[in-house]
Amino acid sequence: MGDPELPIIDGGRQAWVFLLSSVAVEGLLYGMLAYGVLLKFYRTNSEFGTHPFLPFVGLLSIGMQKLGAPIVTPLVIRHPRFRSHLMWSGWIVCVVSLVASSCASELWHLAMSIGVAFSLGFSILYYPMLNMLNDWWDVRRGFAYGIQFGLAGIISTILPFALAPLLELLGASWTLLLYAGVTFVIGGPTVYLLRAPAKAQESTPRVLNRMDWSVFRRICFTAMTLSNVLQGLVYSIPAVFLPVYASAVGLSSIQGTVILAVTNFAITVGQLGTGYLADIADSRILMGLLPLLSAVVVFVFWGPGQTLIRLVAFGLLFGLFSGGYIVLYSRFATALADDRATQTWLYTIFDVQRGVAIIVGGAIGGGLVHGVVNLSDYGAGEYKGLVIFCGACFVISSLGGLGWFFRGSSFRMPRRWRKNTKAAVAPSQSMEQLLSAIEHHIWLDAEKGVLQSDDGTHQRYLQSIRQAIRRQRVISVSSFVSRSSVYSTDFPSSTTTLKPFPLRVTRPRATMQRGNSSA
């Protein structure tokens, strides 16, 4: 069996402590990016309340949080020992930017403090935290991401009810200062609890940090990209515009807050449900189904929705179907690549795509709101173009699910690229698969020449690695383990047929024939 001193992943006490701590941090910080309540207050209580790009600040903050990923991710992958330092730095930046936002007297002050500085600080904290989450949760990663996003969404659901009366009572400046104090007092101890597993604290060998560039020519990656960009283009628009839309059709401030809270709660439930489904169903099927259902909800409920009941129904269904899409990122990455470094980069790429799409979608959405309110018209007249734009983007996004039919296909590369790509990718990819397997109690039986597992829990890893070996026509494993620092002491002590690395283990002839016939 494995080392009893190592922490238990996928459900041990420390894994749950990390998961719940990350929920608290994300909920506390992401709640400030729920800009709808602040937007409504600034509309009526600030000198720049009539500025047409005031809603854009909220979408800018969400987008900038994701655009910080390409800066943070290389540091996280190549220098994992600095992850804790990055999280502490991000926490400090968030607190300082909240204090600065309380002094905002012009729109650009708000854009720089909340839209840029706070979002980048959140990004510096967020991506090392997600990388550690992958260390703690592996087999049940979809479940963990559902919990992460879902429970954080519950906090975001409560925040509008807490912020709305505080804004009316104290004003924006004191409310933001109070929020900065809460972030300082609660966020600090919580960040302290975010620690990686003991074995993951060590630096990852450089060979495992190579990017598998071949994933970018796969049709599935292109389909996922198109679906993700179009979904991100319009996903955040309802959350920003719903309180203002509710006011335009004659609903009260409290009713608008209720609609927003119901939407956030439904997003939470949707993320939990999608996280569960992502572990048992093909993520590419969900990629096509969820945006399609979101489009139906937009056209049927938001467009003609002018009553509280209809808008609450819209928020509930929209949150259920659209909120869980981001949970699929971890499964998009594992569907495209086997090695950890490439998976981390893919998650970052999908998140950056979403960030750019949110910023662009916010600019487009603000320009589509024009005219006068006409309750007899679709979308209350003023918001007609915005509603149609959202529904159309969701429909086109759902077409990304067609990539499921091309899951094994790739775009053809120029001949001069193929040899170099294959030589650079295959060794590190195979080594990563082997080392990951060893960490999860899978080993090579030197007498039988086959992969073995110490219990049924890890049969899923065992099957995936056997398939990877057959796919790459690997007959000997010595070529990709000879440079590793793994020795026989890393294997279960009850195994007596193991030899120190480098081993030369050849698969049995029957296994080779099955691999050739299935390729």
- Angstrom distance (rounded) from CA 497 to CA 112: 62
Burial (CB < 10 A; 0-12, 13-18, 19+), residue 375, is: exposed
Question: Which residue stretches of the chain have pLDDT < 50?
Answer: 1-4, 201-208, 410-433, 435-442, 445-451, 454-461, 470-519
Q: Residue length, the chain? A: 519
pLDDT of amino acid 417: 39
pLDDT tens profile 370-414: 777 777 788 888 888 899 999 999 999 998 877 666 555 544 444
Between the CA of residue 243 and those of 167, 253, 378, 479, what are the distances in Å? 15, 8, 18, 60
Q: φ, ψ for residue 443 (rounded to 5)?
A: -140, 170
Q: φ, ψ for residue 442 (rounded to 5)?
A: -115, 135
- Angstrom distance (rounded) from CA 360 to CA 102: 27
Burial (CB < 10 A; 0-12, 13-18, 19+), residue 252, is: exposed
Helix %, strand %, coil % of the chain (to 5) = 75, 0, 20
pLDDT of amino acid 14: 84
Strands 442-445 and 450-453: antiparallel
pLDDT of amino acid 438: 47
Site of tokens 């086959």? 450
Domains and CATH numbers, the chain: 9-197 (1.20.1250.20), 213-412 (1.20.1250.20), 427-518 (no CATH)
Between the CA of residue 231 and those of 79, 296, 333, what are the distances in Å? 32, 14, 17
Burial (CB < 10 A; 0-12, 13-18, 19+), residue 44, is: exposed
Q: Please give the single-letter amino acid code of residue 97.
A: S
pLDDT tens profile 324-379: 888 888 788 877 877 777 887 888 889 888 888 888 887 888 788 877 777 778 88
pLDDT of amino acid 403: 67
